[in-house]
Amino acid sequence: MYQKIYQKNSFNTLPCFLLLSIGFFLCFAMPANAQKIFNAKSATLDNGLQIIVVENHRVPVATQMIWYKIGAADELKGKSGIVHFLEHLMFKGHEHQELGSYGPGEFSRIVRSIGGKDNAFTGQDYTAYYQSVTVEHLEEMMKIEAARMRGLNVPKEEVSSENKVICEERRQRTDNKPRAQLAEKINAALFPVHPYGIPIIGWMEEMKTLNWNDAKHFYDQYYVPNNALLVVSGDVTLPQIVAMATRTYGLLPAGKEISERKRAVSQTPVAPHDPIIMKHENVQQSLFQRLYRLPGARQNAKAALALEVLEEILGAPSTGRLYKSLVIEKKLAANISFYYSSATWDDGTAGISATPVSNDVIDSLRLSIDEVLRNMAQNGPTKNEVNDAITRLKTGAIYARDSLSGPAMIIGRNMITGTSLDDIESWPEKISAVTVQDVQDVAQLYLNPDKLTYTPPVEGILLPKNDHNKNARKDEKGEE
């Protein structure tokens, strides 16, 4: 399973578990009498493994998630998809002298046999594995997970077979889906010299050449305790988890010191990109998309908070400015959404996705979107809009701690991309401090259609094969 960088939008469809990301986290807040959202506790083992524990004693179950600071954006040139390939191979057998040996698929079979759930996912900045089980089986899960952290041993035939699996996964999820193809083209155009422009699953021709040596190189370097974050949420306490982790993960030696990741960044402004136009015989309904490249929370925490509020004002279903203007008032779109994703090591993204009521209104739709953004940049939101947005974001938090896997996902994804635990816990206080001027400032700086930004947004239009809209110019790289 691989996770694309877009969140809360129709650019891509994620498994529901993975929607517990930064976008979902923003709906979380703390009860009025609490000091922190999760009241998480932390510790670090001697081998460098960082541990976060969120207690939830409502039911005797727990989720453990192990996050590695290695994602698709860290791959070597020409080896796209290797991190996702390695994620697949991690289920194909491992052996460790002290922690035990397990054959291909055995870990998952054990989890299912005790009524639990397990899976894994790859992002641009991380790879993560999780199991949700009753607490009596938690230490066994830690033992097996620790064994495959340093004992991966995949039979040759499994490597070859799994390569075919990931290639077929790409065919099904991207190559056979016009929307996914368009999203891939838009993303590549927005990040022309940055690895975020390369799909997480990889380019097909490079994926076909991936082998055991490629995967083992990344495994040996990055699958070590001092490059990992263990987050456990459920009916446990920090002393219990530290004791279990010491008996399991604590048996593993630390790896070599890993330097902070530094990736290619364009040194000159990127020229505006012509809209990417695709036509496809399987498309029945046209689609308009626009993707922006903005600071993530690690790069600019204050701007990220203001953008989160702006996301709610512009993109809230039924009540957002874009929906009211484009769907209700002007009736140019059947639906429209706006999202902002800030949990990234490098630049975050914001996206607009709309379904035009007909192909003939696409130009009017684009201009009307610009009108909404222009008005926000020039005049800003109202005080009531900001207050209501913040209230809606915080109100959704009442049941935050009732979720079993949610806290592990939220904390893990944000910490692994550079946000501190303290900043996660204090989010309600910080989001409450966002002002009308803060929101207008980020709208002016990043979304103003009259101002050429350092990295201009990229637009894409998906049309039926037989469409003859004279305003739609086909991209030379698009589908005929």
Residue positions annotated with a catalytic role = 87
Contacts of 474 (CB under 8 A, 6+ apart): 277, 278, 279, 480
**Token couple for 240:** 């219990």
Eight-state DSSP code of residue 323: I
CA dist 126 and 72 (Å) reads 8
SS3 (DSSP) at 36: coil
Nearest to 54 by CA among 342, 431, 427, 425: 425
CA dist 442 and 457 (Å) reads 15
Phi, psi angles (nearest 5°) of residue 341: -120, 120
Helix (H) or strand (E) holding 288: strand 287-294
CB of 328 closer than 8 Å to CB of 314: no
CB of 431 closer than 8 Å to CB of 393: yes
Q: Is 97 exposed, middle or buried (0-12, 13-18, 19+ CB in 10 A)?
A: exposed
58 CB neighbour count, 10 Å cutoff: 10
Helix (H) or strand (E) holding 305: helix 301-315
Phi, psi angles (nearest 5°) of residue 74: -100, 5
Nearest to 289 by CA among 300, 273, 305: 273
Task: Looking at 116-249, list the stretches that DSSP marks H as alpha helix, in order from N- to C-terminal side.
Answer: 138-150, 156-170, 178-190, 204-207, 212-222, 238-247
Contacts of 104 (CB under 8 A, 6+ apart): 91, 92, 93, 154, 155, 158
Give the angle subtended at the CA of 478 by the CAs of 166 and 163, to the nearest 5°. Answer: 10
DSSP calls for 415-447: HHTT--HHHHHTHHHHHHT--HHHHHHHIIIII
Side-chain-facing half-sphere of 479: CA atoms under 13 Å: 24
